[in-house]
Amino acid sequence: MSSNPSASRPNPDHATWLKGPEYPCDLPGPGPRRPWHIVLLGPPGVGKGTQADLIVQTFGACQLSTGEIFRNAIAAGLDRASPAMRQALVEMQRGALVPDDLVVEIVRERLRCLSCTQGFLLDGFPRTRSQAEALDGILAEAGTTLDAAVNFMANDAEIITRISGRRVCRACKATINLDISPPRIAGVCDKCGGALFQRDDDKPEVVRNRLVAYHATAKPVLDFYRSKGLLHEIPVGNTPLDTFEKTHKVLLAV
């Protein structure tokens, strides 16, 4: 499997994406010879984050995660948040889903990231058909179009097993999977010796509820990209590298 020679650069901080358009984003290197513009789709726990890391290393695109935006905003507080982000955080604190119009506005605020010469991998957006339709308009404003929407597939039973086997270190926050890479000592982090625990949202009954919510919105998004000829569906393999071999072939053909 050959890779793009411009790849393997360090992942940039992409401060503009995380903090908003008033922040500079210093990108290392000249960028890939061809910038890819890709949406990553699939259920929670299917391994989109791992595949995104491998795509970044191989093709050089910049990973843009809406989940990262919200986590960064929660950690930073409301002091410098935009009006849309302030309202989104209020909704999250209430335990409600962030409405489509707020999510779209938060992405639109970061228009510069979507026209970046590095290209992008969008992870976590769009989640609904209305978000997918809005993304087309945002990209038109940025002067670009999508190359592909890549959907990673696994059945619900496999997803539940993957997520419920996940453990997080209380000290260094490293994540491991008991089935794929069990720790040398049960309950102890290999990296720092901290205690491993299972997050509440990784428990099987919670994962089942998350999958119900995912399936309720996923099909219209998949149908939207299928109708545009952009959808590529990839069944996950036994290992992340097995999956990436398929992903690599798909992207080289786009």
pLDDT tens string 160-204: 998 999 999 999 988 898 987 899 999 999 999 999 999 888 999
**Is 108 in the active site?**
no
Question: What's the Cα-to-Cα distance from 70 to each of 65, 136, 138, rounded to whole Å?
Answer: 9, 22, 19
Catalytic: which of 33, 34, 71, 199? 199
Q: Is position 179 within any domain?
A: no
Range of the domain at 230: 15-154+217-253
Catalytic: which of 86, 108, 210, 226? 210
Q: Is position 170 within any domain?
A: no
State pLDDT tens for residues 60-69: 888 899 988 8
* Residue 202 DSSP one-character state: G
Q: Is position 8 within any domain?
A: no
Q: Is position 248 within any domain?
A: yes
> Model pTM greater than 0.75?
yes
Residue 106 scores a pLDDT above 80 = yes
For residues 72 and 172, what is the distance between their CA atoms, to the nearest angstrom? 18
Q: Is position 187 within any domain?
A: no
Q: Is position 85 within any domain?
A: yes
**Is 48 in the active site?**
yes
Catalytic: which of 110, 166, 167, 246? 166
Whether the Cβ atoms of residue 235 and residue 42 lie closer than 8 Å to each other:
no
Q: Is position 227 within any domain?
A: yes
In which band, very low, low, confident or very high, does the pLDDT at 91 lie, cut at 50, 70 and 90? confident
* Residue 191 DSSP one-character state: T
Q: What is the pLDDT of residue 23?
A: 81
Q: What is the pLDDT of residue 31?
A: 62
The percent of residues in the chain predicted with pLDDT above 90, rounded, is: 54
How many domains would you assign to the chain? 1
**How does the average pLDDT of the chain come out, rounded?**
87
Residue 137 scores a pLDDT above 60 = yes
Catalytic: which of 19, 110, 127, 246? 127
